[in-house]
Structure 1
Amino acid sequence: TQGVSALSNEDTTLNSETALNVGINDAFSLRLSYNVTYNSEPPASAPKHTDRTSAITLQYNL
């Protein structure tokens, strides 16, 4: 799956998520995801404008 969002006011935030869902069995699936968030005006304490997050998630399907 691929998702993109943008928010704009005094600063601009862009978010992009790419994910792959793999079924293990009827009850469980594995999700691999990569998320990139860009902020045009980050707080002074933030080292960069861009945050990157990778995740591996085990999901239970109801």
Structure 2
Amino acid sequence: MPVHHAIWRIGENPQPLTISKLASEQLLEKMILNDPTILSDQWMIIGHQEYTFDKGRIDLLAIA
């Protein structure tokens, strides 16, 4: 059975926020780079689009 969750705008008349999509993954990365607390206030971003030893790539690299 699926579970439905919502994020609500609180106030006198609470309303669920509408579902939306980001235009691109790059936009999400820029948002996180501008404000890493979107993910965690314990993380510090130390790399962006970093290449790995096995010729892969990491979008964002952080330490806690």
TM over 0.5: no
Report the structure, 1 or 2, having the larger strand content: 1
Q: TM-score normalised to the size of structure 1?
A: 0.24
Q: Which has the higher contact order (CA 8 A, sep 6+)?
A: 1
Indicate the structure (1 or 2) with the bigger Cα radius of gyration. Answer: 2
